[in-house]
Amino acid sequence: MKSFNKKYYFLLTIVLILVFFGIYYSSTPKKSLPIFTPRDVNPELVDTTVQHIGYNHIIQDFEFTNQNGKKITQKDYENKIYVADFFFTTCPTICPKMTDNMVWLQEQIKNNPKVMLLSHSVTPDIDTPEVLKNYALEKGVIDSKWNLVTGDKKDIYYIARKSYLVVKTGKPEELYDMVHTENFVLVDQKRRIRGFYDGTNIEEVKKLLEDINFLSQE
Where does residue 125 rank: exposed (0-12), middle (13-18), buried (19+ CB within 10 A)? exposed
Are the C-beta atoms of 182 and 196 separated by less than 8 Å? no
* Distance from C-alpha of 84 to C-alpha of 116, rounded to nearest angstrom: 9
Tell whether residue 57 is among the known ligand binding residues. Answer: no
Please, what sign has the CA dihedral across residues 58, 61, 62, 67? positive
Pairing of strands 63-65, 71-73: antiparallel
H or E element: which one contains 19? helix 2-27
Please give the sequence-ordered ranges of beta strands (E in DSSP) within 74-179, or none if there are none. Answer: 81-87, 115-121, 146-149
Are the C-beta atoms of 66 and 101 separated by less than 8 Å? no
Tell whether residue 52 is among the known ligand binding residues. Answer: no
Residues annotated within the binding site for Cu cation are: 91, 95, 180
Residues annotated within the binding site are: 91, 95, 180
